[in-house]
Amino acid sequence: MKEIINVHCHILNYRFIPDPFFRTRSPIREWLLRCKLTWWFARIVFSIWPGKRYDKYHEALAMMDQDIHAVTEELVSEMKEAGIVMTTPLMMDLEFASFNVKPETPYRYQVMLVSEIAGKRPGQIMPFIMFDPRRRGGSELIKTALEKMGFLGVKMYPPLGYHPDPSSFFNDAEMNRQLRDIYEYCERESIPITTHCSRGGAYSGDLMLCKELVRRFCQPSSWKGVLDKYPKLCLNFAHFGGNEDFLDIDHQESWSHTIREFMRVYDHVYADVSYHEPALWEKTSAHYFDVLQRLMKDPVVKNRIVFGTDWLMTRHTWNESDYVDAFFRALPAASLRQIAFENPLHFLFPEKKLPPRIKRFFESKNIEEDQLPEWMRTNLQIQG
């Protein structure tokens, strides 16, 4: 029986994302996807695009055009089919991402909407709030979301325009103050943080012409100062360094190698395997799972790899079952249980219990503990 915890996914629609954010990256493709009048043409283009599946592109497009509650229902349906019992949608604060153009839905309203979703799906949808230290009053917003609105953890995305180290020259004094505030709070309260860490993904429009700075903000070595100052911080490096780096993990310059060394030094460093395309590509999957199973033989690293998919960023090619089944086919049952349930449980609930702040949130929604999923009541010792 499948019992999976997905530590990396997203609940988004077009109204959560600034329009210029699309146009700055893949202008032709995104124009085809965004403009409904061109969908017929997009169908032709994607049907002949090597390695791409139009049906998935069309489904992803339709999802992104829906209300955020409808997007959530799409996710929940795929979760059930894939055997995912809980997922942690990572919010994206893109109000400062692209040329001062704001998303149609303001970020604070996005937070409220996702909080409502968490209240309707207790123990199944447990979101992470995104922290951007450039936002005025950002640390206070994060604490409110964590303490009163049902958010389980914190999402960070440095390539959107800041260095993660609170002593960095690249940040102004107020940004560094907010970073220190959040790190101290999360370390003290055992709140997990997931940070984007791959060469792909989003980046600030302000940094488009300076890829070296994007790399500096994003690379795992930029977190060393943070981990030295806050060694008990529970930190997940999303994407385990990225596709190419993961396959080249023995190379000392690879990001995945750096993350693996961090795991050996710091007791609460994790890495998720979300958006690892080589796991699903026929030409690379054997090599990918050879690397993964070799890592599972390392007595430290095997306890720090956590499962994630990056839905709906991956939805243009794979649904949740596609991604999950690739790992089920390739991994021994014990290894799969380790990375897809035991390790995520330890990352998300380091004290092996439901945090009091989450209990208070459930109580505010009149949710009794015996209404929580059975797997949660059993593994977190909740009295129902």
Alpha-carbon distance of 14 to 37, in angstroms, equals 17
Q: Which amino acid appears at position 35 of this protein? A: C
Considering the four listed CATH numbers 3.40.50.920, 3.30.360.10, 3.20.20.140, 3.40.640.10, the one that applies to the domain covering 4-12+83-379 is 3.20.20.140
User: Looking at residue 63, what is its pLDDT?
Assistant: 86
238 with 248: CB under 8 angstroms? no
Domain parsing of the chain, residue ranges: 4-12+83-379
| pLDDT tens, residue by residue, 254-308 | 999 999 999 999 999 999 999 999 999 999 999 999 999 999 999 999 999 999 9
> In angstroms, rounded to a whole number, what is the distance separating the alpha carbons of residues 26 and 384?
50
pTM of the prediction? 0.91
The pLDDT value recorded for residue 20 is: 66
Q: Report pLDDT digits (tens) over 24-56.
A: 444 445 555 555 444 444 444 444 444 455 567
Q: What is the pLDDT of residues 332-353, one digit of tens each?
A: 999 999 999 999 999 999 999 9
Q: Which has more pLDDT, 325 or 369?
A: 325
Question: Which of 148-162, 192-206, 220-234, 352-366 has the lowest average pLDDT?
Answer: 192-206
User: Tell me, what's the pLDDT at 40?
Assistant: 44
pLDDT at residue 122 in the model = 97
Percent of the chain's residues with pLDDT above 90? 72
* Main-chain phi, psi angles of 236, to 5 degrees: -110, 120
Q: Which conformational region is residue 366 in: left (phi greater than 0), alpha (psi within -120 to 50 degrees), or beta? A: left
